[in-house]
Structure 1
C-alpha cells in the first residue's frame, strides 16, 4: 500500500502537529503514515483523516500491484 498523506498535506500546507491536533489522531500514527512506515491503521483513523483532508480513501491510499 502506498500512502499519499505527505503529498496531500504538502498541497494543503499542513504540518503533522496540525493534523494530529485537529483530528485527535495520535501524532505517532500520523508520522508513520506520513513517512509510509505504518504497518496497520485503524479504520476510524482512516475515516478521520479522509474527513479532515476532504479526500476519499482511494486518494489517501493506493494499492501497489506488482507483476
Structure 2
C-alpha cells in the first residue's frame, strides 16, 4: 500500500523540540500535532502544513514524503490498473 509519510517526528527530533513547543508556536491544537507526529492523521490542512513548515524553517518536501505503492491503487481511464514506471 502506498503511503504518504509525515516526517514531523524526525523534524522535531532534529531540533529537540516537543510537540507542545510546535503547538505553542503555530497555534495548532496539540491533538492535531500528535496525530501528525504519530502519522495517524487521515487529513491535513494546507494552512497547518504552511504553519509547520514556517515554524520548522523547512519546505513541504522536508515534511511530507510519498512512498510508492507496491500494487497500483488507481485505474486508468480504460479500467485497467495503472502501473508505475519500473525506474521509480
Query: Shorter chain as normaliser: what TM range?
Result: over 0.9
TM-score by length of 1: 0.96
Gaps of 5+ in 1: none
Gaps of 5+ in 2: 71-88
TM-score by length of 2: 0.74
The number of residues matched between the two structures is 67
RMSD: 0.6
Q: Comparing both chains, which one has the higher relative contact order based on Cα–Cα distances under 8 Å and sequence gaps of 6 or more?
A: 1
Compare the two structures and name the one with the higher helix fraction.
1
Structure number with larger C-alpha Rg: 2
